[in-house]
Amino acid sequence: MQLLFHYNWLVREEWYSWCEDLTEEELLKNRTGGVGSILQTLFHIVDVEWSWIRLILGKEDFQENFDDYKSISKVRELDARFHKEVEEFVNNWDKNLESNKFYDLQSDGSHSIDTWGEVMRHVIAHEIHHIGQLSIWAREIGKKPVSANFIGRGLGTH
Amino acid sequence: MQLLFHYNWLVREEWYSWCEDLTEEELLKNRTGGVGSILQTLFHIVDVEWSWIRLILGKEDFQENFDDYKSISKVRELDARFHKEVEEFVNNWDKNLESNKFYDLQSDGSHSIDTWGEVMRHVIAHEIHHIGQLSIWAREIGKKPVSANFIGRGLGTH
């Protein structure tokens, strides 16, 4: 479980570097699908990862407004701010937490019940999915996307 | 680990159904990024998942040719043919296999060493990444993509 988070963090860092070569216009350009722009995708990934972990811990989640984070350095700052808390939770993850329940309030007032294990896998898949979207937009711009390979990143447990 | 494979199989099945509404032309149309077309992406996912498991088990892998699988029913047939072997391996996965070594022959004749755990996570991330690409192409066609949510699929361990 943890290793897929570590993978996501490594890949995300590479996308930040990748973004450094793009103009602000390209980063913010509205594109088809996903959440709309390259930068907003990275912002969304950071926000969602942190928010889910806050939610299952019963902590307050605040809705970040993308309008306040419209540069790569601001998104990286937000990521750095959230990362300590996320990293601590992920690195202390234990399979005994797997079946803990999270009561997810739905918009109609009802609750659905997710396990913490489901939430963790949801967060993992969420980021990889959105990164896949970035890889298409990269090619549309004519740039090679960051590799999505898991192997070759030193993430084996030897 | 297994649950993310199960997630991928559920999502893949939904994409097969989603594809039923598309014309052959749309399925095979060359698109920007990824492996080029919607159908070839699904073919590639199926092929790569099976091939990695064959490889780490030291079994023969044969390179499928997409030209022989240019319909959704043919890709589904291939998937069904490979799935038994893949499913058996995944469902019998045990964390003791995690650090088993796979000697991966590189094109320059050298070997890199991956652990089986790395290979399994590589396969998981590979599929989610490519499915993210499909979600962009879906919107380009004007269709709603299959949900990438992990939660809500009954994949919690209660």
The mean pLDDT of B47-58, rounded to a whole number, is: 95
The mean pLDDT of A64-92, rounded to a whole number, is: 96
Confidence of residue B158 (pLDDT cuts 50, 70, 90): low
- Whether the per-residue pLDDT at A62 is higher than 90: the answer is no
Q: Considering only A61-65, B15-19, B46-50, which range has the smallest mean pLDDT?
A: A61-65
Question: Residues with Cβ < 8 Å from B119, sequence gap 6 or more?
Answer: A151, B52, B55, B56, B102
Confidence of residue A74 (pLDDT cuts 50, 70, 90): very high
Percent of chain A with pLDDT over 90: 89
Average pLDDT, chain A: 95
Q: Calculate the CA A66 to chain-centre distance.
A: 14
Confidence of residue A58 (pLDDT cuts 50, 70, 90): very high
Burial of B80 from C-beta contacts in 10 A (0-12 / 13-18 / 19+): exposed
ipTM of the complex: 0.96
Determine contact, residues B35/B44, Cβ cutoff 8 Å. yes
Average pLDDT, chain B: 95
Taking the C-alpha atoms of residue B137 and residue B158, their distance in angstroms, rounded to an integer, is 36
> Cβ–Cβ contacts within 10 Å for residue A140, how many?
14
B15 and A CB contact within 8 Å: no
Name the residue among A4, A125, A140 with its Cβ closest to that of B121: A4
Q: Are strands B111-115 and B101-105 parallel, antiparallel or unpaired?
A: antiparallel
Question: Residues with Cβ < 8 Å from A46, sequence gap 6 or more?
Answer: A12, A75, A78, A79, A82
A133 and B CB contact within 8 Å: yes
Chain B residues with CB-CB distance to A114 below 8 A: 151-152, 156
Containing H/E element for B55?
helix B38-56
Taking the C-alpha atoms of residue B128 and residue A100, their distance in angstroms, rounded to an integer, is 25
- Whether the per-residue pLDDT at A18 is higher than 80: the answer is yes
Dihedral angle computed from the Cα positions of residues A152, B83, B133 and B21, in that order, rounded to the nearest 10 degrees: 170
Burial of B38 from C-beta contacts in 10 A (0-12 / 13-18 / 19+): buried
Q: A109-144: per-residue pLDDT in tens?
A: 888 899 999 999 999 999 999 999 999 999 999 999
- Whether the per-residue pLDDT at B75 is higher than 80: the answer is yes
pLDDT at B105: 83
A119 and B CB contact within 8 Å: yes
A135 and B CB contact within 8 Å: yes
pTM of the model: 0.97
Residue of A nearest to B140 (CA): A32
Taking the C-alpha atoms of residue B22 and residue B75, their distance in angstroms, rounded to an integer, is 15
B132 and A CB contact within 8 Å: yes
- Give which of A22, A42, A44 is closest to A140, Cα–Cα: A22
> How far is CA A86 from each of CA A26, A80, A92, A145, B143, rounded to the nearest angstrom?
29, 10, 10, 26, 34
A118 and B CB contact within 8 Å: yes
Residue of A nearest to B96 (CA): A157
> Cβ–Cβ contacts within 10 Å for residue A70, how many?
15
Q: Could you give the angle at the alpha carbon of A147 between the alpha carbons of B27 and B82, nearest 5°?
A: 50
pLDDT at A157: 79
For testing the chain B interface, which of A3, A93, A102, A151 should be mutated: the one with the most B CBs within 10 Å?
A: A151
Determine contact, residues B137/B38, Cβ cutoff 8 Å. yes
Sign of CA dihedral A82, A85, A91, A96: negative
Name the residue among B3, B117, B132 with its Cβ closest to that of A130: B132
